[in-house]
């Protein structure tokens, strides 16, 4: 233990006394976190330049442009479509929107958005935001058109409702008419209009005329018979017309019934439309992106990745440089021939590195706690996780240190390895865009695994239990690295000395 502490103390003294090492390795990451923290302490994008072109702007296209300007996007109206697209290519604009001339609500009106796909993350974020803004205007238009339709419908319904009494009165009149006709018909049925009453009266009058000379009375009788005959003829005509009238009345009655049913159906159909709210009609299913945590600034979301990047690069660089400096130090040989096991030097290198990184992270977390005191609840879990994560990266860095034979090559090796791990992670491009086979391998990428652990612990505030699968993966890495270091240590020390021997 005394020896271990002695070696660690020596390592610290050497690191601190080497000004460049102290500056780059100890304070560099802290400075980086401070700068990034300050820079990303916002929840919006700033200084986004949007090129816009339309051969003929109108109120609609202008309103979309205005909406974008309201959201602090900087709009540049280009003089031509080519210039606008070229602006994206040259980086003058982040994206370019081309409006059709006199944008209106009709078919074939397409707003084209040109983006620089090489800036993957930015494109996803801005394209979404711009399309949201265009969508807002489109929604407003839909709302206005739909509200007209809904209003017309409601007006038709109320109009029909109000005219229903007229229809009802018509129906009643028709019913009374039909009933009257029926009564007349019934009454007429009792009159035998078929009998030849006129001839019989004429025969009787002729018989009476032969029996009496009262011509005056007979003339009066004959006049009465004529009148009666005329009236009978009229009744006969009426009687023959009644079935026709009755049929018309019945037809009208059924038509009125049909009209009533139709108007009732229209009214009930209009009434049956449950959703008359315009907003609901234009977007019956709404999607709202809800954060699973409370809304925070970019730095809160970036914090786990940022910590991971610092941990990864500092661990890899620090441990590889510490090992290589020790290895190329003339004093290394004296260590090697001292009556000690290799474990002492490997363990002391590991402990020195982990102490430095923990010290750095303690400062970073202290700052974060000052900004966001609720982080304290996850601090214990995060500390345990970081110990495991840092150990894995330090051991990997130590392997690099033992494998390479100069500080320069070890540094390049460490940075390259870190870059590869970073590249195959969610930080640059979503892992979902990788092929299935590569994604399967990448799932074991230490950076991805560690980032997942920290993200879950810091953002979703889960327990260590919830990240056990990831922790097991890291512990697996650690076991492999320890075996590798044990195998490489003797080999690399002697190999390095052979090289020096051969150089002499």
Partner 1 sequence: MANQIEVKNLSKSFGNHQVLKNVNFEVPSKKIFGIIGASGCGKTTLLKTLIGFWDSDSGEIDYETRELKKNLKFIRQIVGFATQDNCVYPKLSVKENLEYFGTLSNVPRATLRSNINKVIKFVHLEDSADELAENLSGGMQRRLDIACALIHNPRILILDEPTEDLDPILRKDILSLIKKINQDDTTVIITSHLLHEAEQLCDEIAILHNGKILRRGTPEQLRKQFSREDEIHLITLKKNYTQLMKCLKSSKIKKIERFGNRLMIRTTDAENTLQKLIHGIKKQKDKIVQVDVRKPSLSEVFVSLVKKSGETPRGH
Region near partner 1 per CB under 8 A, out of 10-18, 32-40, 259-267, 287-295: 10-18
Dist CA 117 CA 124 (whole Å): 9
Between the CA of residue 202 and those of 223, 336, 489, what are the distances in Å? 11, 162, 152
Region near partner 1 per CB under 8 A, out of 76-84, 323-331, 366-374, 415-423: 323-331
Residue 19 Cβ, how far from partner 1 at the closest point, in Å? 10
Choosing from 10, 119, 127, 298, the residue that interacts with partner 1 (CB under 8 A) is: 10
Dist CA 196 CA 218 (whole Å): 20
Choosing from 13, 89, 204, 265, the residue that interacts with partner 1 (CB under 8 A) is: 13
Dist CA 443 CA 473 (whole Å): 10
Residue closer to partner 1 (CB basis): 330 or 373:
330
Assess 349 for contact with partner 1 (CB under 8 A). Answer: no
x/- string (CB under 8 A) for partner 1, residues 327-346?
Answer: --xxxxxxxxxxxx------
Residue closer to partner 1 (CB basis): 293 or 340:
340
Structure tokens at 100: 């059709």
Dist CA 72 CA 46 (whole Å): 7
**E strands in 374-420:** none
Region near partner 1 per CB under 8 A, out of 111-119, 258-266, 307-315, 491-499: 491-499
Residue 336 Cβ, how far from partner 1 at the closest point, in Å? 7
Dist CA 389 CA 278 (whole Å): 54
Assess 491 for contact with partner 1 (CB under 8 A). Answer: no
Residue closer to partner 1 (CB basis): 327 or 456:
327
x/- string (CB under 8 A) for partner 1, residues 273-312?
Answer: ----------------------------------------
Query: In this structure, what are the phi and psi dihedrals at residue 212, rounded to the nearest 5 degrees?
Result: -130, 160
Residue closer to partner 1 (CB basis): 337 or 366:
337
Assess 265 for contact with partner 1 (CB under 8 A). Answer: no
Residue closer to partner 1 (CB basis): 340 or 377:
340
Between the CA of residue 409 and those of 222, 402, 443, what are the distances in Å? 147, 11, 28
Nearest to 66 by CA among 159, 140, 167: 140
Residue closer to partner 1 (CB basis): 108 or 339:
339
Assess 238 for contact with partner 1 (CB under 8 A). Answer: no
User: How many other β-carbons are positioned within 10 Å of the β-carbon of residue 150?
Assistant: 16
Dist CA 477 CA 488 (whole Å): 16
Assess 1 for contact with partner 1 (CB under 8 A). Answer: no
Residue closer to partner 1 (CB basis): 261 or 500:
500
Dist CA 166 CA 257 (whole Å): 13
Structure tokens at 226: 């004529």
Determine the size of the site formed for partner 1 (CB under 8 A): 27
Residue 27 Cβ, how far from partner 1 at the closest point, in Å? 18
Considering only residues 17 to 76 of the shown chain, the ones binding partner 1 according to CB under 8 A are: 17-18
Assess 406 for contact with partner 1 (CB under 8 A). Answer: no
Half-sphere exposure of residue 232: CA atoms within 13 angstroms, side-chain side: 16
Assess 2 for contact with partner 1 (CB under 8 A). Answer: yes
Residue 20 Cβ, how far from partner 1 at the closest point, in Å? 12
Dist CA 445 CA 439 (whole Å): 10
Token pair 């009496």 in the structure block, residue? 212
Q: Hey, CA dihedral for 283, 289, 290, 294, is it positive or negative?
A: negative
Choosing from 237, 285, 292, 502, the residue that interacts with partner 1 (CB under 8 A) is: 502
Residue 346 Cβ, how far from partner 1 at the closest point, in Å? 14
Question: Are 76 and 87 spatial neighbours (Cβ–Cβ below 8 Å)?
Answer: yes
Residue 490 Cβ, how far from partner 1 at the closest point, in Å? 10
Dist CA 206 CA 200 (whole Å): 10
What is the contact surface with partner 1 in residues (CB under 8 A)? 2-3, 6-7, 10, 13-14, 17-18, 329-340, 494, 497-498, 501-502, 504
């Amino acid at each position: 233990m005394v020896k271990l502490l002695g070696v660690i103390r020596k390592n610290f003294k050497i690191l601190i006394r080497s000004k460049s090492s102290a500056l780059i390795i100890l304070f560099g990451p802290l400075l980086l976190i401070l700068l990034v923290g300050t820079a990303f302490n916002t929840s919006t994008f700033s200084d986004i330049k949007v090129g816009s072109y339309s051969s003929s702007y109108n109120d609609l296209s202008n309103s979309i442009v205005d909406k974008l300007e309201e959201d602090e996007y900087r709009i540049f109206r280009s003089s031509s479509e080519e210039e606008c697209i070229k602006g994206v290519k040259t980086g003058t604009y982040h994206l370019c929107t081309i409006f059709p001339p006199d944008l209106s609500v009709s078919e074939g009106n397409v707003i084209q958005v040109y983006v620089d796909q090489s800036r993957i993350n930015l494109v996803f974020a801005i394209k979404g935001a711009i399309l949201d803004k265009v969508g807002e205007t489109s929604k407003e238009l839909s709302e206005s058109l739909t509200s007209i339709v809904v209003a017309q419908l409601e007006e038709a319904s109320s109009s029909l409702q109000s005219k229903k009494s007229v229809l009802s009165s018509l129906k009643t009149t028709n019913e009374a008419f039909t009933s009257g006709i029926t009564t007349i018909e019934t009454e007429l049925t009792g009159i035998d209009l078929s009998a030849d009453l006129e001839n019989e009266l004429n025969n009787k009058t002729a018989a009476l005329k032969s029996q009496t000379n009262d011509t005056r009375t007979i003339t009066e009788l004959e006049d009465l018979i004529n009148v009666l005959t005329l009236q009978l003829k009229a009744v006969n005509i009426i009687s023959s017309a009644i079935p026709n009238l009755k049929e018309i009345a019945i037809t009208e009655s059924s038509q009125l019934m049909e009209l009533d049913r139709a108007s009732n159906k229209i009214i009930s159909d209009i009434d049956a439309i449950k959703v008359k709210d315009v907003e609901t009609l234009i977007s019956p299913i709404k999607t709202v992106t809800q954060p699973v945590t409370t809304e925070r600034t970019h730095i809160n979301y970036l914090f786990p990745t940022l910590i991971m990047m610092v941990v990864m690069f500092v661990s890899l660089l620090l441990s590889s440089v510490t090992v290589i400096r020790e290895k190329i130090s003339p004093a290394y040989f004296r260590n090697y021939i001292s009556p000690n096991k290799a474990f002492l030097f490997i363990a002391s290198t590991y402990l020195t590195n982990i102490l430095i990184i923990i010290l750095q992270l303690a400062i970073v977390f202290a700052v974060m706690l000052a900004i966001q005191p609720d982080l304290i609840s996850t601090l214990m879990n995060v500390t345990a996780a970081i110990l495991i994560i840092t150990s894995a990266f330090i051991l990997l860095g130590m392997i690099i240190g033992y494998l390479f034979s100069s500080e320069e090559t070890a540094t390049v090796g460490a940075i390259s390895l870190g870059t590869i791990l970073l590249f195959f992670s969610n930080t640059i491009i979503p892992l979902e865009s990788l092929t299935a086979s590569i994604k399967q391998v990448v799932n074991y990428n230490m950076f991805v695994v560690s980032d997942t652990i920290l993200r879950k612990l810091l953002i979703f505030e889960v327990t260590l239990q919830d990240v056990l699968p990831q922790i097991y993966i890291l512990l697996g890495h650690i076991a492999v690295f320890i075996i590798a270091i044990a195998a490489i240590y003797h080999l690399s020390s002697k190999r390095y000395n052979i090289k020096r021997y051969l150089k002499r």
